[in-house]
Amino acid sequence: MNLISLKALALVTMFNITVAGCSPAAQTPTLQPTMEITITTAISASKSTPLPSSTPTVAPTSTWIPAATFPGTRVVKDTAFQISIPPDWTRMESLPQGLDVGFRKQLAEGQYATFYFHYEVMPPEAGEPPSDTSDMKRQWDAMLGNQYHDVRSVPGEIPKVIGRILVNGTYELTDDGQIVRRQYTYFLSGKTAFVVQCSAPPTQWASVLTDFDTMLANLQPGDSSPEHQTISDESAKAELKRNLPTLFHSFPPPWTASLSDVAITSSSSEDMRTLEIALKFDRQDIGDIYEASRTVFGLIKAGKSDSDLNSLPAEIQRAASNSAEFIKYVGQVWGFAWGEVANCSPAVERYKLTILDSKGQRVGSISISREDLSAILTGKVTASDGQRLAGMYVFE
């Protein structure tokens, strides 16, 4: 039983970019009169969310009860988190991959309720999380469907948390041969992102729901942040190879993709290290989409007018109608990778994504500098900076 990697969702930067050419009209696509660029940032690039001084955020459907009302409730404190645990819950020593902390409660012979969570302290580069997180929820559901083929959504409540909920859903699925009801709650509390997984047999769910609500309502960051630790290139590459496929599985058809290679290379100078990711798309027209995106970005970078964009040949306009999604998924890979290699030393200064077609042949590459990526993540580039943004993308 593995928790879907937090990084596959939380460390994804949502570059929802509409680049001029995305509106087909009848048989001939035409470019939009203006270039709209909307950049929304997922939680790996989220700024600190304002928190109430002493009480959890109120959700109307929650049944939260303060931990202090439960006799025997104990507080578990750690450097990175603090949580109140109701009676009869014990801390688990052995945890599934991808989870940091776990508690369980025996409900009957061979039946347990479990409360697992993973936490991630966000790096200093911080942008705002999107106000609309429906796309994050869609990707979460897609990753769940890939991991648990019989998963189905069921009605559930929105719990109270100390912070802001970004994704919350209740499901029934088969895990390790057992049918369970499971609630995933992904929320941001200050600079810490938590993904919580509450599980119990469906027939026992109601009996432990109050316990789940209590633990969720009292889960918060600890008094101090964990020490910053650098990681080796090999560790960063291993994490990317392990977790990137989870992200790719969230891409909807026809954007099915797979990882071909990951490398960190250096130029003649150690300060110009580049993360190179080779990504193979299954669609047959990825070459046309790449070239159309390259053309459109080049025109925008050069400050060309709307009439220049609208005078592109029909075949380029047709391919350019897919540019928005293409650049969006490129941005998601960059955002994910940024979270994985942020602690490498020396720093990775450039992010390069090599695009391969369905036969594994190189189509081209798109790269961005660490400085420019940081400017996007921190919101220093706005929707009015189309020419500047287009110049940040280097097509080769």
pLDDT the model gives residue 35: 29
Instruction: Name the nearest CA neighbour of 312 among 294, 301, 296.
Output: 296
**Terminal-to-terminal C-alpha distance of the chain:** 41
Q: Where are the alpha helices (DSSP H) in the chain?
A: 7-10, 134-147, 205-218, 233-248, 286-301, 306-310, 314-320, 323-341, 370-377, 386-392
Rounded to two decimals, the pTM is 0.68
Chain position carrying tokens 């940081």: 374
343-386: per-residue pLDDT in tens? 888 888 999 999 999 999 999 999 998 888 877 766 677 656 77
Handedness of CA 244, 249, 251, 254 (dihedral sign): positive
Distance CA 264, CA 63 (A): 49
Cα–Cα distances in angstroms (integers) from residue 52 to residues 58, 162, 163, 269, in the given order: 10, 8, 8, 47
163-172: per-residue pLDDT in tens? 999 899 999 9
Q: Could you give the angle at which helices 323-341 and 286-301 cross, rounded to 10 degrees?
A: 90
Distance CA 158, CA 188 (A): 15
Rounded to whole angstroms, the maximal C-alpha distance in the chain is 73
Chain position carrying tokens 């819950």: 89
pLDDT the model gives residue 125: 60
Chain position carrying tokens 């049944």: 63
pLDDT the model gives residue 16: 36
Q: Dump the DSSP string for 184-203.
A: EEEEEETTEEEEEEEEE-GG
Distance CA 180, CA 173 (A): 6
Distance CA 393, CA 382 (A): 15
Distance CA 288, CA 386 (A): 22
pLDDT the model gives residue 359: 94
216-248: per-residue pLDDT in tens? 999 999 876 556 678 899 998 998 898 888 888
Give the pairing type, strands 17-18 and 101-108.
unpaired
Residues of the chain under the 50 pLDDT cut: 1-2, 4-8, 10-69
pLDDT the model gives residue 49: 27
37 Cβ contact partners less than 8 Å away, ≥ 6 residues apart: 17, 18, 19, 383, 385, 386, 389
Distance CA 298, CA 301 (A): 5
Where in the sequence of the chain do the CATH 3.40.1000.10 domains occur?
Answer: 67-221
Residues 56/66, Cβ–Cβ less than 8 Å: no
Handedness of CA 340, 346, 347, 348 (dihedral sign): negative
Distance CA 364, CA 386 (A): 22
For residue 161, the cross-strand partners are: 57
Instruction: Name the nearest CA neighbour of 357 among 248, 255, 257, 282.
Output: 282
Cα–Cα distances in angstroms (integers) from residue 360 to residues 244, 256, 275, 299, 334, in the given order: 18, 14, 19, 29, 20
Tokens of 247: 């992200």
Residues 10/246, Cβ–Cβ less than 8 Å: no
Q: CB 246: neighbour CB atoms within 10 A?
A: 21
For domain 67-221, give its CATH number from 3.40.1000.10, 3.40.50.2300, 3.90.1150.10, 1.10.10.10.
Answer: 3.40.1000.10
pLDDT the model gives residue 174: 95
pLDDT the model gives residue 331: 84
Give residue 320's Cα distance to chain centre. 26
Torsion, Cα 331 335 340 341, to 10 degrees, reads 80
